[in-house]
């Protein structure tokens, strides 16, 4: 390989590695800080700051010492630092989290914690990779002095092509199949091999024998096991954890690891949690076989309850974006309900393009335990929901809130009330809970009918609580509404959590 082609190869590999590490950085931070806009802002900001500092210092360094061997040593250093990220990340992030709790603001804790974690874990190796660009341009221009503009354009073009490749490869292939840590190990080893191969002669066979062993042991780290862990799987969207203490009751968590997003009890389909109130919707109207749409399957808690309570009297369609979640819920529940139709698709896209009208729609979608995705919060979204309901249809959604007077709950419920003629709140879903619910319909709902349906006495506690605690919500022009243009749900949720 001639020197110019080798420089092109370096530009491509570095471009791939920068974007691959940026993507995987979000997966490293997600279990601790979530995937809100604040976390992504910090990741992108740290990468940009590190690269820009690398460009600046690299330009000065290459003018003093324009040697390929120095560049390859820098790349080797970046690979070695990246190699340590999976081993250090959990303990380091926990330490950072524990030492910033003195901040009064939850947003500040989230922002500072994710920034420091991203900076310490990824800042320095990204800075080293930033040094490579001015080095490559300088080294390539030595043999092309009359075409310096073309030289820099070619290097940046190849590096950008690598970045494009590095954007799609981890997201679509590597992370879903081998996981985040193994993706980091892979690119670390590529950088290490590139650096070592350029620095040392092939005559040094001993070193080239050691490199595969370093990578092999890096790709096989010791993994601590928890006796109660049933399933651990990293999907394209999230890290999925299923635990059980007796193989009868399962707790499913996504990313966050501290909360439970779904409960499956083989001995009792009612959980005592907010999920049970999704089963009240079919009691709010009378009409033959009912069509029920659930947006957000999770572990199948709600689907399981609907099946056990209503059986063949209800047709359920469940929309779930994560294919691995569908597979896990099917394995745990062994669903045999022929009236259940599971669709693997984004919930908003399904509602937008599906022409079918439903009697009931229940929204139970979350990111990292407590965050409703902003795309499911806006006035434009609720217009889509309204168009997917029958004239007397009812929609419900579960929300996490610190109280009925929080800005988040006020704006969210006001957004729904703007689109529906009749809106009702359940504040909170159960005493002492942080779960709140909003129900809405284009027609007034006669809730007294719910008491008359004595055949569903299994829900008597939920019915009594609902009838004694629901309130009417009226749209107010004095309160803002979420739109696709303005929807700071992450900020308001964080404010709710810590205030």
Asked if pLDDT for residue 223 goes beyond 60, the answer is no
Same domain flag for 395 and 279: yes
Same domain flag for 214 and 339: no
Same domain flag for 213 and 298: no
Could you give the percent of the chain with pLDDT greater than 90? 39
Asked if pLDDT for residue 221 goes beyond 50, the answer is no
Are 46 and 122 in contact, with CB atoms under 8 Å apart? yes
Query: Domain with 371 in it: what CATH number?
Result: 3.40.50.150
Answer whether residue 306 is part of any domain. Answer: yes
Query: Domain with 65 in it: what CATH number?
Result: 1.20.1250
Same domain flag for 293 and 368: yes
Answer whether residue 239 is part of any domain. Answer: no
Q: Which of 98, 34, 140 is nearest to 497 (CA)?
A: 34
- Average pLDDT on 375-398 reads 94
What pLDDT score does 226 carry?
Answer: 43
For residue 107, name the pLDDT band (cuts at 50, 70, 90). low
- Average pLDDT on 477-495 reads 87
Q: Which of 190, 218, 246 is the last residue in one of the domains?
A: 218
Q: Kindly list the strands in the beta sheet with 314-320, ordered across the sheet, starting from the edge strand earlier in the chain.
A: 340-344, 314-320, 290-295, 358-363, 389-400, 435-441, 422-426, 470-473
Q: How many residues does the chain have?
A: 499
Tens digit of each residue's pLDDT (9 = 90 or more) over 124-144: 999 999 999 999 988 887 766
Same domain flag for 283 and 153: no
Answer whether residue 254 is part of any domain. Answer: no
Q: Which of 194, 216, 178 is nearest to 16 (CA)?
A: 194
How is the chain split among helix, strand and coil, in percent rounded to 5? 60, 15, 25
Highest mean pLDDT: which of 9-18, 107-116, 188-197, 323-332? 9-18
For residue 175, name the pLDDT band (cuts at 50, 70, 90). confident
Domain count along the chain: 2
Answer whether residue 256 is part of any domain. Answer: no
What pLDDT score does 12 carry?
Answer: 95
Tens digit of each residue's pLDDT (9 = 90 or more) over 432-457: 578 899 999 999 888 877 877 767 78
* C-alpha–C-alpha distance, residues 349 and 296, integer Å: 13
Asked if pLDDT for residue 259 goes beyond 80, the answer is no
* C-alpha–C-alpha distance, residues 45 and 42, integer Å: 5
Where is average pLDDT lowest: 24-33, 132-141, 331-340?
A: 331-340
* Structural domain boundaries enclosing 35: 3-218
């Amino acid at each position: 390989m001639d020197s110019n082609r080798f420089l092109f190869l370096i530009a491509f590999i570095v471009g791939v590695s920068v974007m691959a590490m940026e993507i995987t950085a979000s997966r490293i931070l997600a279990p601790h800080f979530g995937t809100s806009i604040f976390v992504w802002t910090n990741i992108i900001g740290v990468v940009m700051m590190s690269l820009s500092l690398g460009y600046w210092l690299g330009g000065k360094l290459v003018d003093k010492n324009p040697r390929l061997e120095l560049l390859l040593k820098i790349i080797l250093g970046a690979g070695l630092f990246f190699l340590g990220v999976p081993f250090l990340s959990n303990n380091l992030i926990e330490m950072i989290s524990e030492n910033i709790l003195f901040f009064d603001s939850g947003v500040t804790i989230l922002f500072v914690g994710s920034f420091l974690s991203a900076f310490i874990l990824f800042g320095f190796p990204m800075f080293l990779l930033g040094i490579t660009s001015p080095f490559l341009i300088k080294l390539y221009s030595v043999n092309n002095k009359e075409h310096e503009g073309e030289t820099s354009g070619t290097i940046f073009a190849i590096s950008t092509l690598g970045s494009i490749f590095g954007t799609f490869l981890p997201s679509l292939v590597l992370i879903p199949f081998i996981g985040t840590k193994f993706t980091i190990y892979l690119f670390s080893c590529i950088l290490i091999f590139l650096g070592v191969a350029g620095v040392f002669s092939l005559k040094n066979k001993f070193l080239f024998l050691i490199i595969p062993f370093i990578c092999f042991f890096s790709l096989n780290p010791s993994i601590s096991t928890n006796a109660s862990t049933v399933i651990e799987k990293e999907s394209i969207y999230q890290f999925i954890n299923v635990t059980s203490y007796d193989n009868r009751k399962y707790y499913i968590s996504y990313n966050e690891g501290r909360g439970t997003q779904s409960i499956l009890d083989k001995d009792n389909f009612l959980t005592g949690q907010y999920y049970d109130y999704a089963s009240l919707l079919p009691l709010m109207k009378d009409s033959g076989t009912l069509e029920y749409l659930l947006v957000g399957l999770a572990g199948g808690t709600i689907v399981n309850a609907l099946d056990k309570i209503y059986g063949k009297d209800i047709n359920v369609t469940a929309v779930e974006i994560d294919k691995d979640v569908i597979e896990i819920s099917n394995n745990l529940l062994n669903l045999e309900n022929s009236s259940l139709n599971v669709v693997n698709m984004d919930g908003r896209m399904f509602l937008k393009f599906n022409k079918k009208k439903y009697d009931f729609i229940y929204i139970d979608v979350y990111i990292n335990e407590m965050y409703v995705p902003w795309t499911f919060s806006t006035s434009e979204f609720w217009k889509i929901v309204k168009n997917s309901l029958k004239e007397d249809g009812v929609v419900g959604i579960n929300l996490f809130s610190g109280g009925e007077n929080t800005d988040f709950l006020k704006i969210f419920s006001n957004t729904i009330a703007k689109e529906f003629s009749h809106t009702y709140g359940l504040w909170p879903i159960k005493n002492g809970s942080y779960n709140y619910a909003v129900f809405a319909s284009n027609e007034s709902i006669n809730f007294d009918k719910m008491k008359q349906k004595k055949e569903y006495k299994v829900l008597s506690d939920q019915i009594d609580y609902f009838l004694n605690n629901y309130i009417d919500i009226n749209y107010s022009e004095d309160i803002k509404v979420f739109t696709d243009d303005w929807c700071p749900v992450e900020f308001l949720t964080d404010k709710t959590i810590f205030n």
